[in-house]
Structure 1
Amino acid sequence: MLVTMALPPPASTAEIPAIAARQRMEKKSFTDAEITDGFFKTAFGAEYHLAGRVDRIRKYSTPVRVFADGRRADRKAQLAKVVSDIAARIRNLDIAMTESDDAANVRVKLVRDRDLYHTISQAYGSERAREIKTSLDPQCLSGFRKNEAFEIEHSDVILTVDNGDFVFLDCAYEELLQSLGPINDTSSVPWTMFNDNVSMGYFDVYDQYILNLLYDPRVKAGMTLTEVKAVLPDVLTDVRAWVKQTNNLAE
């Protein structure tokens, strides 16, 4: 017999008034059409991409190990709680922190805000850094490298550490989750953190639906939109049950 219980929000998020207020107001009931619309819009396409096709599913097919590169012990501790929360809420994803940079396939660079543009320039080159600044003007950033099978092999995340707890946690959740595959921001879906007009600071129910759909074993890296639509009804049924029990949702 499987015994389950709803998971509480991590202490690092529940103690922040701006996050607690958003959790009290959070919409948690969605139609199948609302969920699948957001999934298609975020899992396909890319807000900013450097090369390759973006009309296929992209995801990790291996365990994900996250390394924090930075000096702020408090931010590293918060990041570890974020990763633990993500691991608890995405059913078919093996994700955890690692103390070894060599063992990591997600590298999180923790930098001061004044060093953000320089760090982006180091990672992407000065010309592309200018393009990113002009088109996105980010407070934080993530990107990944995929193979020919559209399996993500490595992700890089850049987070600023000195813009307050809310900004740090909001960026940490959004960029870590986007580094797992749903990298296309969209302004047409009002409930997802993958909307530049939406700030959460925690792993909301709607985005739990998106990530659990993506990491269901029946949704495979390299699938087209048509292929995903063929399996999605059965996948969504199972994902609904998981998200419901994890968050103690009403019928």
Structure 2
Amino acid sequence: MQGFISPPKTRPASPGSFPALLNSAARRLFRLATVALVSLTIASVPADAGSLSHISDAQLSHGFLMTVFGTEGRTRSPRSRLRKFEQPVRFSVEDRTGKGMDRKVADFIARLPRIVPGLDARLAMPGEKANFDVIITTRANYRARPSLASLSGELPGQCATVMHYGRSSIRQTTSYIVADEGAYLFNRCMVEEILQGLGPINDDNSLKLSMFNDTSHYQRLTAFDRAIVNMLYDPRITCGMTMADVTPLLPQVIRDVRRKLR
């Protein structure tokens, strides 16, 4: 948020004088203008945090289990195992459109450690191996990728994330973000695919407060989704856990996440 310059100091006038009344009116106008400026500035900031106060523990628990266990288009199984990055997450960003959209993606990646406190995530340094690649592409090139079409019988979604697993954790993620169909789709794909590439890969239409829902219209990070990713990267939630392992831990994890994101 940009600061503002305080009005110049004036010599106090005697009580009841016209300059005092004028200064009093000016101060009131200044306070009103300041409130309006702050409100406008806050409104223009992406709604990254929001409040969890209107979201119940049951909703967060349900959302976690729906997004973390299973993948889109596949039936969930009680034997499904939790996957996330165990190693530091190092990103590479490649803009194949020439539109300079990589800067916006890099800005979002730079904010991830604030979105998920404790997550070791940043852009890879020169010569450092990335384990999370973000590829910005056009719709035509997205449709033409055989690696995506082979994931299922038809091309998945508006954008896509492909994950490769080690024994129990995520080894490599690649997210494809379409950049030539407007700001709304680009912003939604960028946030959703990068967050899902960290582990909560499944979309579910029952999650009304989430971007992890193909029928929702969010294009910015929601409080619900931020909580889900923070729950996933809580140290008590470990790779290889099943739903049965995770479920009894969720009440305390949710309480701690609420305190952390307050």
Partner of 1:131: 153
Partner of 1:98: 124
Structure with greater contact order relative to length (CA < 8 Å, sep ≥ 6): 1
Q: Could you give the per-residue CA deviations for residues 145-174 of structure 1, whole angstroms, max 9, x where no partner exists?
A: 1112x2000001111111122211110100
Q: Quick one: percent identity of the two aligned structures? A: 28
Higher mean alpha-carbon deviation, 162-171 vs 217-226, is at 162-171
Q: Is structure 2 residue 63 aligned with structure 1 residue 33?
A: no
Provide the aligned length of Structure 1 versus Structure 2.
218
SS in 2 for 1:131: coil
Bigger Rg over Cα: 2
Q: Letter of the aligned partner of 1:96 in structure 2? A: R
1:104-143 equivalences in 2 (<5 Å): 104-119=130-145, 121=146, 123-124=147-148, 128=150, 131-133=153-155, 136=156, 138-143=157-162
Q: Letter of the aligned partner of 1:103 in structure 2? A: K
What's the CA shift for 1:230? 2.3
Asked whether the equivalents of residues 88 and 120 of structure 2 are also in contact (C-alpha less than 8 Å), the reply is yes
Asked whether the equivalents of residues 78 and 242 of structure 2 are also in contact (C-alpha less than 8 Å), the reply is no
Q: Letter of the aligned partner of 2:164 in structure 1? A: R
Asked whether the equivalents of residues 101 and 107 of structure 1 are also in contact (C-alpha less than 8 Å), the reply is no
Partner of 1:89: 115
Determine the C-alpha separation between the residues in 1 that align with 2:189 and 2:223: 17
Partner of 2:86: 61
What's the CA shift for 1:14? 4.0
User: Hey, which bits of structure 1, 4+ residues long, moved more than 6 A?
Assistant: none
Structure 2 segments unaligned to the other structure (5+ residues) = 1-40
SS in 2 for 1:83: helix
Structure 1 segments unaligned to the other structure (5+ residues) = 1-10, 245-251
Q: Could you give the per-residue CA deviations for residues 165-218 of structure 1, whole angstroms, max 9, x where no partner exists?
A: 221111010001111111111011111101001132221100011000000010
Change (3 A) 1:223 1:129: closer
The alignment's TM-score, normalised by the length of structure 1, stands at 0.78
SS in 2 for 1:231: helix
Determine the C-alpha separation between the residues in 1 that align with 2:220 and 2:159: 16
Q: Is structure 2 residue 208 aligned with structure 1 residue 190?
A: yes
Q: Which has the higher helix share?
A: 1
Partner of 1:158: 176
Determine the C-alpha separation between the residues in 1 that align with 2:200 and 2:232: 8
Q: Is structure 2 residue 227 aligned with structure 1 residue 202?
A: no
What's the CA shift for 1:101? 7.7
What's the CA shift for 1:90? 0.6
What's the CA shift for 1:237? 1.3
Partner of 2:236: 218
Determine the C-alpha separation between the residues in 2 that align with 1:207 and 1:41: 12
Determine the C-alpha separation between the residues in 1 that align with 2:171 and 2:152: 26
Asked whether the equivalents of residues 70 and 111 of structure 1 are also in contact (C-alpha less than 8 Å), the reply is yes
> How large is the Cα RMSD of the aligned pairs?
2.8
Determine the C-alpha separation between the residues in 1 that align with 2:69 and 2:133: 23
